[in-house]
Structure 1
Amino acid sequence: MRPVAFVRITCLLLYSLAAFSAAAQEIYAGRYKAIFNEAPRMVPTSKVPDAPLAGNGDIGLTLGGSPDNLCFYLGKNDFWRAWPVYPGGGIAFPGALQVSSEALKGASWYAEQVMDKAVVKGRFTKGNTSVSLTAWVAATHNTVVVEFISNKACRLQLKLWAPEGNTAVNGAGVTNQVQWVTRSFNDTALQEWPCHVAIAMKTLGAVVDQNNYIELLPGKKITITLTLYTSFDQPQWKEQAIREAGALTAVSVANMRIQHEAWWRQFWLRSSVRIGDPYLEQYYYASQYLLACSSRGDKFAPGIWGPFITKDSTAWGGDYHLNYNYQAPYWAAYSSNQIDLTNNFDQPLLDYMPKGVAHARSLLNVRGIYYPVGIGPRGLVTTRWPLTPEEMEKRYGTRENTIDDGFKFLGQKINAVFSVGNMLMRFYSTYDSSYALRVYPYLVACADFWEDYLKYEEGRYVIYMDHFNEIMPRLGSTGNWRDRLGDFNSTLSLGLVKMLFKGVVDMSTYLGKDQGRQSTWTHILTHLSQFPVGDADGRRSLQSVEKRPWGYEKPAGLNRVSIHGLLVPAGVAGPITDSSFNKILLDDVSHWKDKMKSGAEWGNTLNNGIETCFPGAVRVGYDPGEILQYLKERIARQSLSNWWITQGGGGIETLAAVPLTINEMLLQSYEGVVRIFPNWDHSKDAQFDQLRAYGAFLVSSRLRKGSVEYVHLLSEKGRVCVLANPWPGKSIQLVRNGKKAEVLRGAAVRFTTGVGEMIVVVSI
């Protein structure tokens, strides 16, 4: 190699390592905070609150009320009324702290949601009186901290309360200057397990009088702590909450805050992106913040609304909806290198397996597992038809409440397999053998089901009676709802089943298990029906199903539901997998504009699908500039002051939309090839640090002035890497652990890696 070239590589290497080190020190998310200039209007709510939010992945804090009557709503992911139907059943509301002050009646409202530190700040001003608050949910403890300080003397009245009703049993008292309330759902008819919660409050820096007033003196901080425990945290849940609250001091709270800030700092250092677009960056980091507030690996998985619960009977019971709502919030966490946030995902699915086996045998006479559309934790089913014919008629227009033995499958057989997508995303992203061993029985149970359920006809496997959309009786609908049953070869089902059998073969090979079954699985994989396409206005277009009872279906093009089966989460289609088929999908996306002429938004995502359609468009290679413009327009149409993007059908699943879209533009690997800036406008500078690629690689790169400057690749498991050459037509130099190594050439290069090896790739 020429000396000049070697010097250039060395300088680039030193520059890129310095850039990587600098990026690792800066919390880029600290540039963004949500600001509120008026009190929330959507609190309490059965869906997404528009309030300042904080959380630790188990406990959620929602700040509502008015300046003179602030309300700190407390939610907890493991507090459930374990009934099999909603309304009434599902995640429940533990309680709240109300803080009232006559001095602030009519005061102005100002609040901030500070994401890098995970705190909510507020300032309420009336005349020359200004009261400030700081509130946070301790990242490493079961405690919420609320701090007040004022420039003038004023009185605050505290009211700790838990809601009554919905068969709850309540308690309240004072123990050693700790106020506490409890709320319990005991063993009642149809309740699958009891659940209890305690909230214990201690005030530091002031004395609480017999009427629950405290004096806020000028410049003197008062700290109110709220410690929450459920019966799933601790058998002595009430005693533990009271004991921990009583032991808190100013020093211990200060230490708790140090741990809290350290946890969040480490969270933000796991990855970062910089795309030169502050509007999208703020939603990128806000979405990651809200997910981290909602999900923590060693706690119960969050339901549709996360822990931001402000009333009982939230929409859909706040359950785990298995035909995409439950899975979608996690989709960006894998590539964002936030694997620990996904540790709780699998447990509810594993817990339901015995019931899934029973459903498969009793309803379909097959092996494996068969899941309804909605479940909860600890084997709870949340989606039963109403328990009486009268209630069924009131809600669904028919008295038949024994459909499928009373469980809501809604004509879909694919619900259990939907979650395999997340399991495979994590497996391919980490190659963690202990994780693979944990979920492998679930994949095998799904494979058992589909081995029995698939029909082999005329040289191909086909799928009967698994429906592209939910099929159910509806109030006010005409005709017999069963007339809509009969989908044949749904694109959703074909794609997810293909994903399943590819994944179970890969995991079987990796673990060295069930080698004798691989021939059957591979035969299914290679002989599964092709995805149906047809002619639409002179072009080839995707069909939702191959046919329906009334005949062959007119092609509807790629949409939210078919994206689930093909692209996200399935990952069985794309420009590398099948370039010809990908062109059909790309052409379908280009026709999404047609519906905008009648007022619809691009991708039709106001009700559901923002987290699906935008990443799906990226994966098929649609124009990145248009994607980002449409994404910004969609956010502007329906999002809240706390930067939570909303839609009609669900809640925390939208938190994947912006991070997954951006991550897929900057780095792709789902087709077995690591691709750098695969769908990014190269005229715009961008940088990403430590995004996670399939193969257990952490990848960093920077695009500047139209050229990729470097690629860093940290190999966690020492697997072979296939990299699309970021510098087409040029040779590339590998630098392994700081030492110059191979020179490689080609459109895609293949090289070995060692466990823990850092490889820098530069052009020469």
Structure 2
Amino acid sequence: MTRSLLMLMVLMLGFFSRVYAQEIYAGRYRAVFTKAPELVPTKKTPDGPLAGNGDIGLTLGGSPDQLSFYLGKNDFWRAYPVYPGGGIALPGWLEVNISALKGANYYAEQVQDKAFIKGEFTKNQLKVSLKAWVAATRNTVVAEFTANNACNLKLGLKSTEGNTSVNTAGVDGDVIWVTRSFENTPLLEWPSNVAMALKVLGANLEKDGSVDLKPNEKVTLTITMYTNQDRKDWKAATIKEAHSLTENKVTEIKEEHEAWWKDFWSQSKVEIGDPFIEKYYYASQYLFGATSRGDKFAPGIWGPFVTRDSAAWGGDYHLNYNYQAPYWAAYSSNHIDETANFDQPLLDYMDKGKQHAKALLHQKGIYYPVGMGPKGLVTTRWPLTPEEMEKRYATRENTIDGGYKFLGQKINAVFSVGNMLMRFYSTYDKAYTQKIYPYMLECANFWEDYLKFENGRYVIYMDHYGEVMPNLKNNGKWRDQLGDFNSTLSVGLVKMLFKGMIDVSSFLNVDASRIPKWKHIVQHMSDFTVGEVDGKLSLKGVEKSPSAWHSRIAGLARVSIHGLILPGGVCGPKTDSAFNQILLSDVSRWKERMKGSGEWGNTLGNGIETCFPAAVRVGYDSDEILKQLKDRINIQSLPNLWITAEGGGIETLSAVPLTINEMMMQSYEQTIRIFPNWNRFKDASFEQLRAYGAFLVSSRLEKSEIEYVELLSEAGRVCTIDNPWPVKKVQLLRNGQKAEVLSGKTFVFDTKVGESIHMTAK
């Protein structure tokens, strides 16, 4: 056997063993419930067991004798421009009443590697077992019941009523169906229809909705769901597909389901020897996988886990971080497919964005309000009558900014460019880049027009660090707070935009004549403003502001992080090490400002997904970050392992994965760094984390030594990587063959599409 063939076999064996290990490793961690959920239904994050396929979300609520299977769907909206009332809506739920279980013990698990809910409910000699799941590849929800002794199930399929919806129900042979529709009401931008159909397998469904559960025999409940966004024949297709389901068909669907999740878990892995953090790492990955699917509608603030109408903030796409943040960990975690739905709502709103820019600001380009929905829907109009405006905001002026909530912020459209650039740099996918380039170009058109060049620098007037609006607290008075100048949020994101424009247009070989202007903006953008606190330099949120709160020297905080570090990515130890030291000093003061455990970074309201990864990127001590992260999780999280925040929902799902990924591997400054912020005395490993340049990277740290680094080059780009063994020479193997020996602090070398690179210290 030749040496090259032996090496190839070793590499293949390592790959397959990693895939197998990933499947087992994700299965170590489950959410356990020993009492019935208390926050189901809710207008925010539910605390019950969850399952989903990135389109349909299943939330288990109720007690053992009155179980409720709430069914949410990312594409079922009441397309009305104001909330409450508008926003994502609840299709309905399935009630399963088991009177024999009144007062029974409650036990459930959220089994995350297989993506199902397991339940066991016991009373005296009766034990009823449940296994429920949302098919990963179909519009089907399955709930399987078994019992050791006979009992009766009473079923009720319900569609949510009210809020101007029209509801129908009926029976078609052995299928029970219900529908809910929003149509033909004033200001509704497009109709929404949903149908749900129930079929029972393994037992007879009586006319009164009851089913006899016999000892040790399985009864399977299937619910099929389609909306008019899925297909035009949404109702007929729902009923027809429900009819087609058999026990063999459900077995086939289950096999597809398990294969999909097996592939999901094979895409990346981390192992850090900390069961607490790993539990939330994998739970967050599971919940995002259950929340978002690339070929479906993008999830709103609460994902598909909606358990009542009029969810908080309409469950919309909030563009000043809530919409973008859930995706941030998916890029480095190599879950690119789950991010493919992000861009479409932004593209669909472009025509309206152009109208806003022209009518309200007399500008080119696009101008987006703070909140929107799918298909060009705006969700954040001010109340439509002066009376309602006064009731909610203490002023009758409901025509501010043409009746739309911009809240003093011009940067909302650019905020999303950060995600677009993360995916671009992570994949160098030409088709994707061509898709998002028109959006980026309109953002550039706006900011070329809006920026002012004064005294040798570009400055930004009247774009605000925080939301500025009338409310009950300020008695409707708010205009005296307008006037921010050079907000760190704005300066950072605009710089990010034009750096990205240069890279993206060069990649596509378009608009070369505009690049000199974009370079001039990047090179002459205003510096970030700093002041002095206790003899040390510290970041200011804005250069000047009429708001005392914004003009103070507050140091690095969530909003400024958005502009500078995440998603901005324009600051860091590689970009400007001296400025990075100022930011690191600011992070060190977070601990001094704590009033209690779990309050590090002031993330109870918002920002756990922002502040913790940012602290990693600037180089703060990793052990202290993990300690504070554990305290934060313990003070505010749910039994389903969803870490909660007062101001939002699914954005917290990126907090733990992104924090750990950034400790294992960084690339956001176009240089790959292996274990850049990790305690070298703690063993750790990662597999197939995705780096900028379209590289999949794996490595292991054991006994304070990095054993190897592996890279798979998807796009054949030049690789820049800091030497993982700074004082040693490094041997490269290309596709299993010995290649060059490298030395120095940082390496730059060519790669080919599909090439495997193995690096070891020589």
Q: 1:734 aligns with which of 732, 743, 758?
A: 732
Task: Give the 3-state SS of the residue equivalent to 2:591 in structure 1.
Answer: helix
The corresponding residue for 1:354 is 351
> Partners of 1:281 and 1:406 in 2: how far apart?
46
Q: 1:529 aligns with which of 522, 526, 530?
A: 526
2:390 is the counterpart of 1:393:
yes
> Partners of 2:256 and 2:596 in 1: how far apart?
53
Contact 2:605–2:647 (CA<8 Å) still a contact in 1? yes
Task: Give the 3-state SS of the residue equivalent to 1:193 in structure 2.
Answer: coil
What amino acid is aligned across from residue 322 of structure 1 in structure 2? L
The corresponding residue for 2:204 is 207
Cα distance change on mapping 1:329 and 1:424 into 2, 3 Å: same
Contact 2:470–2:476 (CA<8 Å) still a contact in 1? no
> Partners of 2:103 and 2:597 in 1: how far apart?
41
Q: 1:80 aligns with which of 57, 77, 94?
A: 77
Contact 1:20–1:689 (CA<8 Å) still a contact in 2? no
- Kindly state the Cα deviation for residue 536 of structure 1 after the two structures are TM-superposed: 1.4
Cα distance change on mapping 1:479 and 1:322 into 2, 3 Å: closer
Contact 2:82–2:382 (CA<8 Å) still a contact in 1? yes
2:542 is the counterpart of 1:542:
no
Q: 1:145 aligns with which of 142, 146, 160?
A: 142
- Kindly state the Cα deviation for residue 537 of structure 1 after the two structures are TM-superposed: 1.7
Task: Give the 3-state SS of the residue equivalent to 2:651 in structure 1.
Answer: helix
> Partners of 1:302 and 1:479 in 2: how far apart?
32
- Kindly state the Cα deviation for residue 210 of structure 1 after the two structures are TM-superposed: 1.2
Cα distance change on mapping 1:73 and 1:566 into 2, 3 Å: same
Can you list the C-alpha shifts for 1:677-718, whole angstroms capped at 9, x where unaligned? 000100000000000000000000000000000000000010
> Partners of 1:157 and 1:478 in 2: how far apart?
52
> Partners of 1:10 and 1:621 in 2: how far apart?
42
Task: Give the 3-state SS of the residue equivalent to 1:596 in structure 2.
Answer: coil
- Kindly state the Cα deviation for residue 12 of structure 1 after the two structures are TM-superposed: 10
Segment of structure 1 superposing worse, 596-605 or 717-726: 596-605
Structure 1 length-normalised TM: 0.98
Contact 1:13–1:760 (CA<8 Å) still a contact in 2? no
The corresponding residue for 1:294 is 291
2:305 is the counterpart of 1:305:
no
Question: For structure 2, which runs of at least 5 residues remain unmatched after alignment?
Answer: none
Q: CA RMSD in A?
A: 1.5
Counterparts of residues 277-426 of structure 1 (less than 5 Å): 277-426=274-423
> Partners of 1:597 and 1:150 in 2: how far apart?
51
Can you list the C-alpha shifts for 1:248-303, whole angstroms capped at 9, x where unaligned? 00000000000000000000000000000010001000001000100000000000
Can you list the C-alpha shifts for 1:192-215, whole angstroms capped at 9, x where unaligned? 000000000100011111111110
Contact 1:668–1:676 (CA<8 Å) still a contact in 2? yes
Task: Give the 3-state SS of the residue equivalent to 1:593 in structure 2.
Answer: coil
Contact 1:12–1:710 (CA<8 Å) still a contact in 2? no
What amino acid is aligned across from residue 410 of structure 2 in structure 1? K
2:434 is the counterpart of 1:437:
yes
Counterparts of residues 606-617 of structure 1 (less than 5 Å): 606-617=604-615
Question: For structure 1, which runs of at least 5 residues remain unmatched after alignment?
Answer: 1-6
> Partners of 2:436 and 2:304 in 1: how far apart?
26
What amino acid is aligned across from residue 247 of structure 2 in structure 1? A
- Kindly state the Cα deviation for residue 106 of structure 1 after the two structures are TM-superposed: 0.7
What amino acid is aligned across from residue 519 of structure 2 in structure 1? T
> Partners of 2:462 and 2:320 in 1: how far apart?
16
Q: 1:29 aligns with which of 26, 31, 42?
A: 26
- Kindly state the Cα deviation for residue 16 of structure 1 after the two structures are TM-superposed: 7.3
Can you list the C-alpha shifts for 1:32-75, whole angstroms capped at 9, x where unaligned? 11110000000000000000000000000000001000000000
Task: Give the 3-state SS of the residue equivalent to 1:421 in structure 2.
Answer: helix
Q: 1:558 aligns with which of 540, 550, 556?
A: 556
What amino acid is aligned across from residue 450 of structure 1 in structure 2? W
What amino acid is aligned across from residue 712 of structure 1 in structure 2? E
Task: Give the 3-state SS of the residue equivalent to 1:331 in structure 2.
Answer: helix
- Kindly state the Cα deviation for residue 553 of structure 1 after the two structures are TM-superposed: 2.6
Contact 1:456–1:462 (CA<8 Å) still a contact in 2? yes
Can you list the C-alpha shifts for 1:413-455, whole angstroms capped at 9, x where unaligned? 0000000000000000000000000000000000000000000
What amino acid is aligned across from residue 761 of structure 1 in structure 2? M
Contact 2:616–2:659 (CA<8 Å) still a contact in 1? yes
Cα distance change on mapping 1:64 and 1:598 into 2, 3 Å: closer
The corresponding residue for 2:685 is 687
> Partners of 1:503 and 1:584 in 2: how far apart?
25
Contact 1:498–1:572 (CA<8 Å) still a contact in 2? yes
What amino acid is aligned across from residue 475 of structure 1 in structure 2? L
The corresponding residue for 2:443 is 446
Contact 2:393–2:476 (CA<8 Å) still a contact in 1? no
Contact 1:54–1:136 (CA<8 Å) still a contact in 2? yes
Task: Give the 3-state SS of the residue equivalent to 2:302 in structure 1.
Answer: coil
Give me the identity figure in percent.
66
What amino acid is aligned across from residue 658 of structure 2 in structure 1? L
The corresponding residue for 2:753 is 755
> Partners of 1:437 and 1:549 in 2: how far apart?
41
> Partners of 2:328 and 2:446 in 1: how far apart?
25
Can you list the C-alpha shifts for 1:445-482, whole angstroms capped at 9, x where unaligned? 00000000000101110000000000000113258310
Contact 1:123–1:130 (CA<8 Å) still a contact in 2? yes
2:579 is the counterpart of 1:584:
no
Cα distance change on mapping 1:740 and 1:599 into 2, 3 Å: closer
Can you list the C-alpha shifts for 1:722-751, whole angstroms capped at 9, x where unaligned? 110000110000000010000000000111
What amino acid is aligned across from residue 58 of structure 1 in structure 2? D
Cα distance change on mapping 1:10 and 1:725 into 2, 3 Å: farther
2:463 is the counterpart of 1:490:
no
Q: 2:37 aligns with which of 37, 40, 45?
A: 40
Cα distance change on mapping 1:240 and 1:550 into 2, 3 Å: closer
> Partners of 2:742 and 2:126 in 1: how far apart?
69
What amino acid is aligned across from residue 428 of structure 2 in structure 1? Y
Cα distance change on mapping 1:459 and 1:501 into 2, 3 Å: same
The corresponding residue for 1:665 is 663
Task: Give the 3-state SS of the residue equivalent to 1:64 in structure 2.
Answer: strand
- Kindly state the Cα deviation for residue 549 of structure 1 after the two structures are TM-superposed: 3.0
What amino acid is aligned across from residue 141 of structure 1 in structure 2? R
- Kindly state the Cα deviation for residue 596 of structure 1 after the two structures are TM-superposed: 1.3
- Kindly state the Cα deviation for residue 598 of structure 1 after the two structures are TM-superposed: 6.4
2:182 is the counterpart of 1:192:
no
Contact 1:624–1:680 (CA<8 Å) still a contact in 2? yes
The corresponding residue for 2:119 is 122
> Partners of 2:310 and 2:253 in 1: how far apart?
33
Contact 1:271–1:689 (CA<8 Å) still a contact in 2? yes
Task: Give the 3-state SS of the residue equivalent to 2:499 in structure 1.
Answer: helix
> Partners of 2:66 and 2:226 in 1: how far apart?
26
Task: Give the 3-state SS of the residue equivalent to 2:27 in structure 1.
Answer: helix
Can you list the C-alpha shifts for 1:102-160, whole angstroms capped at 9, x where unaligned? 11111110000000000001010000000001000000000000000000011110000
Task: Give the 3-state SS of the residue equivalent to 1:665 in structure 2.
Answer: helix
What amino acid is aligned across from residue 707 of structure 2 in structure 1? E
Cα distance change on mapping 1:264 and 1:550 into 2, 3 Å: closer
The corresponding residue for 1:267 is 264
- Kindly state the Cα deviation for residue 21 of structure 1 after the two structures are TM-superposed: 3.5
Contact 1:181–1:198 (CA<8 Å) still a contact in 2? yes
What amino acid is aligned across from residue 104 of structure 1 in structure 2? L
Cα distance change on mapping 1:550 and 1:592 into 2, 3 Å: closer
> Partners of 1:12 and 1:747 in 2: how far apart?
28
Q: 2:591 aligns with which of 593, 597, 605?
A: 593
2:456 is the counterpart of 1:459:
yes
The corresponding residue for 1:627 is 625
- Kindly state the Cα deviation for residue 22 of structure 1 after the two structures are TM-superposed: 1.6
Counterparts of residues 222-261 of structure 1 (less than 5 Å): 222-261=219-258
Can you list the C-alpha shifts for 1:535-569, whole angstroms capped at 9, x where unaligned? 11211000000011378933110000000001111
Task: Give the 3-state SS of the residue equivalent to 1:592 in structure 2.
Answer: coil
The corresponding residue for 2:176 is 179
What amino acid is aligned across from residue 321 of structure 1 in structure 2? H
Contact 2:598–2:634 (CA<8 Å) still a contact in 1? no
Contact 1:536–1:554 (CA<8 Å) still a contact in 2? no
The corresponding residue for 1:3 is none
